[in-house]
Amino acid sequence: MIILGIETSCDETAAAVVQKSGNRVTILSNVVASSAVLQAKYGGVIPEQAAREQIKAIIPVIEEAISRSRLAISQINAIAVTYGPGLIGSLLVGVETAKTLSLVWNKPLIPINHLVGHFYANWIAGAPAFPCIGLLVSGGHTDLVLFKNHGKYEYLGGTRDDAAGECFDKCARLLSLPYPGGPQIAKLAQKGNPKAFDLPRPMIDSKDFDFSFSGLKTAVANLLKESSPKTAYLAASIQQSIIDVLVKKSVQAVTQYKVKTLIVAGGVAANQKFREELWAALPEIPISIPPVDLCTDNAAMIASAAFFQKPVKNPLTIQADPNLALTT
Ligand code: KG4
Ligand code: ZN
């Protein structure tokens, strides 16, 4: 079974050709074009601008993915596309392209929830054992999910305000670091003392699985109004606050639901210190974290998720849904 995946939910334009034989999901090609240069210039993603870039990039990116897979179009069995959540203009580019290709090439179309897709990066070259706890930590989401099986998941909790990645990005901005801020803070933090500043760890002791990160950003803003601390020390302290909360809640979920595996996904999972602290906190269960290039937005994870879902009967009924939630 071979699936062409398409992902355009935020500013990336991505296409990938992925194969499943038996239990093994392997990437044949994985192409990601991002408007990172524009983002860095404007300090973030400008939705209209992202969609305009995606309209230009989508066909070349799909052509490149097919060409790199060294397969003929006739060898592709189905198309998978992200239909939400995300930016409406961006989602439309992928969804309408996928619908058109599905009709023209006469191939089934499988709509994928972007958040579910992130988790399925863990099924590439691996097969995590159910039940598992899924922790999604990206620029737009911080969610804990209980996966009982494919297509059977339960939302446990998530952020009430800023996502973990958003907190990294906003704090980085306060420190005059370029966007995206997560990798910048991580790099600086290597030279700093994480105990230098006693920053808040919002909701760390709450018994639920919710998160809140906006207070941390405010604390950093207030600190910077009063003094000019060493950037590396502050970066290390910010990173440590975010990691402490994420690790504590993950351990709490794994223990309460007695799961076999923890699967982590999303851009923040690229953070090396976070990975090391998770492994140290949960030595008794396998923790699956995708390689860095599969943590951030890509289409291979969308194709991977599609192997475990059914195509829709009529591809033309698929609608982009910017507010799509994580429900079964
Ligand atoms: O999953 P992703 O690529 O896009 C969304 O769907 O949001 O995640 C992007 C987020 C950004 O907030 C970025 O700052 C963060 O992931 N990020 C990191 C690291 N690499 C990316 N955060 C902390 N440490 C990193 N190494
Ligand atoms: Zn994402």
Give every residue of the chain whose pLDDT is below 70, as ranges.
38, 328
Pocket around ligand 1 at a 6 A CB cut-off: 10, 138-140, 165, 168-169, 180-183, 186, 266-268, 270-271, 296-297
Give residue 169 CA to ligand 1 midpoint distance, Å. Answer: 8
Position in ligand 1 atom list of the atom nearest CA 297: 3
Going by C-alpha positions, the residue among 118, 116, 74, 80 that lies closest to residue 98 is 80
Cα-to-centroid distance, 115 and ligand 2 (Å): 7
Task: State which ligand 1 atom lies nearest to the alpha carbon of 141.
Answer: 7
Beta-strand pair 78-84/109-113: parallel
Distance from Cα 183 to the centre of ligand 1, integer Å? 8
What letters, b where the CB count within 10 A reaches 16 and e where it falls short, cover 178-197?
Answer: ebbbbbbbbebbeebebebb
**Which residue minimizes the CA distance to atom 14 of ligand 1?**
182
DSSP H stretches of helix in the chain: 36-42, 47-69, 88-105, 114-120, 164-174, 181-189, 214-226, 231-257, 272-281, 292-295, 300-306
The 10s digit of each residue's pLDDT in 11-52 is 899 999 999 999 899 999 999 998 777 677 777 778 888 899
For the entire predicted model, the pTM comes to 0.94
- Using the mean position of ligand 1's atoms as its centre, give its distance from the Cα of residue 233 in Å: 21
Mutate to test the pocket of ligand 1, among 9, 166, 168 (most ligand atoms within 8 A of CB): 168
Strands 261-265 and 152-158: unpaired
- β-strand partners of 61: none
Q: Which atom of ligand 1 is nearest to the CA of 172?
A: 14
Instruction: Return the ligand 1 atom nearest residue 292 CA.
Output: 20
Q: Ligand 1 mean position to 62 CA, how many Å?
A: 24
Residue 25 DSSP class: E
Question: What is the distance of C-alpha 185 from the center of its chain?
Answer: 18
Q: Which of 3, 2, 11, 4 is nearest to 33 (CA)?
A: 11
Testing ligand 1's pocket by substitution, the residue of 296, 297, 324, 326 carrying the most ligand atoms inside 8 A of its CB is 296
pLDDT for res 277: 97
**Strand arrangement of the beta sheet that strand 142-149 belongs to:** 152-158, 142-149, 132-137, 261-265, 287-288
Q: What is the pLDDT of residue 206?
A: 94
In whole angstroms, what is the distance from residue 204 CA to residue 217 CA?
A: 15
Q: CA-to-CA distance for 130 and 110, rounded, in angstroms?
A: 23
Residue 63: which of 35, 97, 37 has the closest Cα?
97
Q: For residue 328, what pLDDT is reported?
A: 66
Predicted local distance difference test score (pLDDT) of residue 23: 87
Smallest CA-to-CA distance from 142 within 168, 175, 114, 164 is with: 164
* Per-residue pLDDT at 46: 86
d(CA 73, CA 239): 45
Nearest CA to 111 out of 144, 146, 141, 86 is that of: 86
